[in-house]
Structures are given as C-alpha cells and as structure tokens.
A and B are shown apart, each in its own frame.
Chain A
Amino acid sequence: MMPALRELWVPMSCPLIIWLLATLIVYQGARLLYGWSGLHPFANPVLTSVTVIIGLLLITDTRYETYFDQVKVLHLLLGPATVALAIPLYGQLRRLRRMLVPLGLAAIVGSATAIVSAVGIGWLLGASPELLLALAPKSTTMPVAIGIAQQTGGLASLTALTVTLTGISGAIMGGAVLSLMRIRDAVVRGFVFGTAAHAIGTAQAFREGEATGAFAALGMGFTGVATALLVPVLVLLLRVQSWTFAAH
C-alpha cells in the first residue's frame, strides 16, 4: 500500500484528478469538524480547508497552477452558483421590494466604511502604496476587486490576497460582532455578511438560513457596484492631495 501511495505523489505520474479528490475529501472533513465544533466561527470550513490544502501543496511541493488546473471544475461552477442565488432572492421578493432603498443606502455606507477604514488603518501602520491600492476594493468579490485594482494601478495578485483574507475574517467575525450588537434580524445579518465578506460571507450566511443567505447575496451584489464607483474617486482624491503636497 505505502509504496503505491508514494508513487502517486510523483508529480509526473500523478493522476489528473488527485487534487480534486483531495479537495473534496478535505472539504468533507472540514464540514464534519464544523458540525462537531457546534458551528464555531474559527472552524469555518473555508478557513480549515484552505489551511489543509495549502499545507498539502507546500509538503508535496506542488505548484498552485498545477493544483488550480485540476480543481478548475469547482471554480467554474461558481458562475452558475452565483446565478442560482436569484432563486432564494426570489423567495424574499416581497421583503426585497419594500427594502430596496434602505439596502442601497446601507451598501453605500458599508462600502465607504470598508474602503476608508482599510486604507486608513493600512496607511497608519505604514503599508506600502501597492498594499493600499489592493486594500481599497477588498470587500467585493474577486473579479470585481481585481477589475477595480487594475483600473487604479494596483496588483491583481495582492488584491486577491486582501479579498480572500477579508472574506475569511468577515465570515469568522460577522456572527460574533452582530450578536454582540444584538442584531437578530435575518435581513440585517445577511446583508452585513454579504457587504463585509462577499462570497465567503454569503456562504456563511446560508448556514444561518435561506433568508439570511438571500440578503447576503444581495449585499454582495450592491457592494460590488458601490465599491466600483467609490474606489476610483478616493484614489483620485488621494493623488490630487499628494500632488498639492509635492507642489509645496
């Protein structure tokens, strides 16, 4: 058994689905762990799965490109899964119609807070200019954030990092912060998860129920648009300011 197993790990003879299989097994394990922990936020399945997967990639000295190639099918399913979010949203249509304006307002305030707080804290702690540009769009989904970063001159890879960390930390802390604020309304909880932690937060919100998840999907969509409109304005303002400083 063991020599055969070792042979599997030789990169060239590696069957094409080994990482897909590994990812599914790791994910199932992560879900079990999450259940056993009583849905503890730090046992978030995305966090535990990714930690194990990265560990496996490092141990086996596998390139990320090789890994991604084999699990691409999961990544491709993210598109139809996003479209599918329309179905739970449709189930909330009556509430959605009534709340469209408040939700829009909350998304604008949330996006502005996300941009200003992240860039502000980063700037205070001496983050590099590249990191600041990557922090600005971090609350949106990956494709939106990378699009914004490219528009403002940020690095796509660094933006991917801030987006991922934001999703994980928002999903982990969201429930605790909201409970601390004594917010139990599924609409508010869901919308906050989507606004602060995009797809990872939305996945977490669906664990709380269908209504929570539906409004998270909505928050994610609204935030994408609001952030895409706000970030270029902020970057422009900062540039103008640094030019005036340079002129003096």
Chain B
Amino acid sequence: MEGGGMLGAFAWLLLFQFAGELVVRGTQLPVPGPVMGMVLLLVALMLRGSAPVNLRATAEGLIQHLMLLVLPSTAGLVLQLDRLTQEWLPLTAAVVGGAVLTIAATALTLRAVLSCPGKPIR
C-alpha cells in the first residue's frame, strides 16, 4: 500500500469500496458497500500491522470534510418541503423526541456495560 502518494491512497480506498460492494452483493448483508469496505480495510490494516502514511493523510483530508460530502443528498430536503409542512408536528416530534431518547438510552447502556467491573469484557 506504500507509495503512490494521494492518488495511490485514493485508488486503494476505491478498491476497498468496490470489494465491499462485492461482498454485500454476495452475502445479501443489510450494510452499504462502503461500510463493508471500511470493515475490510480495517482487517487489512490489522493484518499489515500499520497504516501507510499516504493513506492516513488522504483519509484525514476526506474525513475532515465529511460534512461537505453529505450536502448533495441532504439538500434533497427541498423535494420534501410539502410533506414537511403537511405532517410537521408528528414528524418533528418523532425525530427530535426520538433522537433525545436514543442518545440517552445508548449512552446509559454503554456507560453501564463499560463500567461493570464484575463481568469480563470480551
């Protein structure tokens, strides 16, 4: 994986995304291809024992601007403005209330399980 600079690193990312898509198609697992690609790359890095410098730099650049990359799909909200005004109350209440409850439940569970000294964590 070493060498090739940013373009080489980018090609590796695309290759793992492609491999992820193939695995998802083959196994019918309910995960998007890129997420599977992330898992495959993690396994590859574990086998390799370190992350190449150029890959680290490219990844950092992409991750730093994750918010920019979600803008095209997020702007699709414009297509749903009618629905938003029609059902705004159940929609916002469910989304906002659901988010608060999900945050609280996840945080409490994780904190409780992590700070449980009796059980061996593994």
Which A residues are closer than 8 A to B by beta carbons? Answer: 23-24, 27, 45-46, 49-50, 53-54, 57-58, 64, 67-68, 71-72, 74-75, 77-91, 93, 98-103, 105-107, 109-110, 113-114, 117-119, 121-122, 125-128, 131, 135, 138-139, 141-144, 147-148, 157-158, 160-162, 164-170, 173-174, 177-178, 181, 183, 185, 187-189, 191-192, 195-197, 199-200, 202-204, 206, 213, 217, 219-221, 224-225, 228-229
Q: What would be 7 A-B contacts, judged by CB atoms less than 8 Å apart?
A: A80-B62, A113-B105, A117-B94, A118-B95, A161-B91, A165-B77, A221-B35
List of B residues within 8 angstroms of A188 by Cβ:
107, 110-111, 114
- A24-B107 Cα distance, complex, nearest whole Å: 35
Find A118's partner among B29, B89, B94, B108 (CB 8 Å cutoff): B94
Contacts of A191 in B (CB 8 A): 106, 110
| B residues contacting the other copy or chain, number (CB 8 A) | 75
> Considering the chains assembled together, what is the distance between the CA atoms of A170 and B63 in angstroms?
19
For the complex formed, measure the closest distance between the CB of B15 and the CB atoms of chain A, giving whole angstroms. 9
B114 CB contact (under 8 Å) in A23, A102, A135: A102
- A23 to B107 alpha-carbon distance, docked (Å): 34
Quick one: closest A residue to B75, CB to CB? Answer: A53
- Which residues, 70 to 122 on B, are CB-close (under 8 Å) to A? 70-80, 83-84, 87, 89-111, 113-114, 121-122
Most buried by A among B41, B74, B121: B74
Q: B58: which A residues are within 8 A, CB to CB?
A: 84
Given contacts A126-B90, A135-B91, 15 further A-B contacts (CB under 8 A): A46-B70, A46-B71, A64-B76, A83-B38, A87-B59, A90-B45, A98-B121, A110-B105, A113-B98, A114-B98, A121-B93, A122-B91, A127-B91, A177-B104, A189-B107
